[in-house]
Chains A and B, each alone.
Chain A
Amino acid sequence: MINKEVSNAREAIRDIPNNATLMLGGFGLCGIPENCISALVEKGTTGLTCISNNAGVDDFGIGLMLKTRQVKKMISSYVGENAEFERQLLSGELEVDLIPQGTLAERVRAGGAGIPAFFTPAGYGTEVSEGKEVREFHGKMYLMEEWLKADFALVKAWKGDKSGNLVFKGTARNFNPMMAQAGKITIAEVEELVEIGELDPNEIHTPGIYVQRIFQGVDYEKRIEQRTTRIK
């Protein structure tokens, strides 16, 4: 087996250049690559295009990179939790592409799966369809959407082995598996890095072929956006 372990986030992101296109896994703050984001903030890489379902909150997740003005463009489906994002958007400092969530997920999946384009009904007849090829199949109208790929995909998993096999937990899976497939270089950070052979092959969610670098993450905060509990 191939050993893909690197020592930490700093080493994993060492060659991400300015103006790179990144994919970052996560839904809200759930399943985001916390360590890689911190390392990018520390390194100060700028001009980034970030493909991610959301844009974090003001002081966590991608919000940290927005604050330091490292992001040139966001490609997302929902960005409503972030005041700094709003400020940069309204002042024209930040470009934003808003995409229906299922279309975003499928465009990323298509990128990793070698499917250059596909047809989806989402957004037909709305402003999302502007400038896109429309076709009718079996009496229903569909939009053509193209694949998305990235120079680097930054994903977060629960467990991983040193050959890059990944296992996710709960709803922290979300966009991570497709992004792992769609990155030219995919960097996986995991809460628990184990030796090759310690994960049950039956339970791997993302096979290691998609992962180029993996490291044991540290100091996970795993912040919760809406802590909602049962009233006793």
Chain B
Amino acid sequence: MLDKIGIAKRIAQEVQDGTYINLGIGIPTLVANFIPENINVVLQSENGLLGIGPFPDEEAVDADLINAGKQTVTTLKGSSLFSSAESFEMIRGGHVDLTILGAMEVSENGDIANWKIPGKMVKGMGGAMDLVASADNIIVAMQHKSRSGDSKLLKTCTLPITGIKCVKKIVTDMAVLDVLPQGGFKLLERAPGVTVEEIKNATEGELIIEGDIPEMNI
């Protein structure tokens, strides 16, 4: 099984040179730490920054420079700043190549639920609905099962959905899977020490297994 760092490291392997990427809050934010030196990417923050730099030194903290998680950040050489309207023009217009975000549930046809749990506090969807409706390439970082052991890779989402038929790839603590265009989770890799049988038992939606499933190389 992978921990959060492991999931982030595995997703970092999917990142391609010369791309613009939006990282969601949580595990996706960690991905930035594991992108290899020889891969040049630009990170987009939907509150209006292209080229997110590292967290600042204590003396360089600037209240006017934050990321979408409201953390203080820095700019890099070549960064640019813009309004929220322009930021979502980039997103809806298909200029951002890859979106990496977390999920509470994903269905076998690629629906994602990650913004609301009825009966609990509703915080709002922020930019998630715009991102999932617009991106051509979406990778989801999530736990395969809930704390109580229920599958989060489902036939149909039980929670209110954020977007339909949009997830292309999922990296969980147990596996790497593609969501096929015709539906179904195609198993690509197992996490270290996890068996195909365990992944089967942890996946409620249709799981497609072809040939030997290799262990992830992290």
Which A residues are within 8 Å of any B CB, using their own CB? 27-31, 53, 76-81, 86, 89-90, 98, 100-106, 108-109, 120-128, 158, 168-178, 222-230, 232
Q: Is B130 located at the chain interface by the 8 A CB criterion?
A: yes
Report the separation of the CA atoms of residues A86 and B128 in the bound assembly, to the nearest whole angstrom: 21
Interface centre among A76, A78, A109, A178 (most CB of B within 10 A): A78
Q: Is B143 located at the chain interface by the 8 A CB criterion?
A: no
Q: Which 3 A-B pairs have the closest CB atoms?
A: A102-B88, A80-B123, A102-B130
The answer to whether B48 touches A171 (Cβ under 8 A) is: yes
Min C-beta distance of A185 to chain B, whole Å: 21
Interface centre among A108, A128, A171, A178 (most CB of B within 10 A): A171
The answer to whether B129 touches A100 (Cβ under 8 A) is: yes
Q: Is B39 located at the chain interface by the 8 A CB criterion?
A: no
Q: Is B163 located at the chain interface by the 8 A CB criterion?
A: yes
The answer to whether A170 touches B81 (Cβ under 8 A) is: yes
Choose from A104, A122, A168, A229 the contact partner of B134 (Cβ within 8 Å). A122
Which residues of A are found within 8 Å of B70, using beta-carbon distances?
27-30, 81, 225-226
Report the separation of the CA atoms of residues A102 and B55 in the bound assembly, to the nearest whole angstrom: 25
Q: Is B201 located at the chain interface by the 8 A CB criterion?
A: no
Q: Which residue of B lies closest to A121 (CB)?
A: B133
Which residues of A are found within 8 Å of B71, using beta-carbon distances?
226, 228
**If A28-B66, A30-B64, A105-B83 touch, does A229 touch B88 (CB 8 Å cutoff)?**
no
The answer to whether B88 touches A171 (Cβ under 8 A) is: no
Q: Is B186 located at the chain interface by the 8 A CB criterion?
A: no
The answer to whether A176 touches B83 (Cβ under 8 A) is: yes
The answer to whether B125 touches A229 (Cβ under 8 A) is: no
The answer to whether B124 touches A175 (Cβ under 8 A) is: no
Q: List 11 A-B contacts (CB under 8 A).
A: A29-B70, A30-B47, A77-B124, A86-B121, A101-B84, A101-B88, A105-B88, A106-B88, A124-B163, A126-B162, A170-B75
| Count of residues in B whose CB is under 8 Å from the partner chain | 50
Q: Which residue of B lies closest to A169 (CB)?
A: B64
Which residues of B are found within 8 Å of A121, using beta-carbon distances?
92, 133-134
Min C-beta distance of B116 to chain A, whole Å: 8
The answer to whether A123 touches B133 (Cβ under 8 A) is: yes
The answer to whether B92 touches A78 (Cβ under 8 A) is: no
The answer to whether B66 touches A30 (Cβ under 8 A) is: yes
Min C-beta distance of A17 to chain B, whole Å: 28
**If A103-B130, A126-B162, A228-B71 touch, does A80 touch B66 (CB 8 Å cutoff)?**
no
Report the separation of the CA atoms of residues A172 and B72 in the bound assembly, to the nearest whole angstrom: 12
Report the separation of the CA atoms of residues A93 and B161 in the bound assembly, to the nearest whole angstrom: 27
Min C-beta distance of A3 to chain B, whole Å: 26
The answer to whether A102 touches B72 (Cβ under 8 A) is: no
Which residues of B are found within 8 Å of A173, using beta-carbon distances?
48, 81-83
The answer to whether A228 touches B55 (Cβ under 8 A) is: yes
Min C-beta distance of B26 to chain A, whole Å: 13
Min C-beta distance of A214 to chain B, whole Å: 19
The answer to whether B55 touches A170 (Cβ under 8 A) is: no
User: CB within 8 Å of A: which of B131-153?
Assistant: 133-134
9 extra interchain contacts, Cβ-Cβ under 8 A, other than A104-B84, A170-B64? A27-B47, A77-B124, A89-B122, A98-B122, A100-B129, A126-B161, A128-B129, A173-B81, A222-B63
Q: Is B181 located at the chain interface by the 8 A CB criterion?
A: no
Q: Which residue of A lies closest to B83 (CB)?
A: A177
Which residues of B are found within 8 Å of A123, using beta-carbon distances?
129, 133
Which residues of A are found within 8 Å of B87, using beta-carbon distances?
102, 105
**If A79-B123, A101-B46, A227-B61 touch, does A125 touch B66 (CB 8 Å cutoff)?**
no
Q: Which residue of B lies closest to A176 (CB)?
A: B83
Choose from A120, A126, A232 the contact partner of B163 (Cβ within 8 Å). A126
Choose from B55, B82, B125 the contact partner of A98 (Cβ within 8 Å). B125
Min C-beta distance of A225 to chain B, whole Å: 4
Q: Which residue of B lies closest to A113 (CB)?
A: B85
